[in-house]
Amino acid sequence: MEDKNVTMISDQVNDPNSSLAGSAMTKAGRLAMELSHEKRRLKQELEVIQKMKKIQEMYLILEVAVHLMAVVVTMIMVVEIINQQVIDR
């Protein structure tokens, strides 16, 4: 599937009356520019994905911390119950 802009430029380069005919805008040059744009886009996408991964890691750490806090609270409650039973004896 060819992009309309690429087709238009290709048509202009092939047209001997066009200002682009014989210019430095060769097919290789166009492909190099296209590759550069795609590389920049992929780099930005990778940065977003890396940020999302860090957020997910932080979320998991927080989730573990909450579970650990629940365990500590439960242990404190058990100790208090045991202490109360010892006092009642």
- The residue-averaged pLDDT of 4-16 equals 55
- Measured over the CA atoms of residue 28, residue 31, residue 37 and residue 40, the dihedral's sign is negative
Question: In the structure, what pLDDT confidence band is assigned to residue 28 with cuts at 50, 70 and 90?
Answer: confident
- Domain limits of the chain? 4-88
Q: Please, what is the average pLDDT of the chain?
A: 84
pLDDT in tens, 58-86: 999 999 999 999 999 999 999 999 999 99
CA proximity to 5, closest of 44, 33, 45:
33
Place of tokens 């290789």: 28
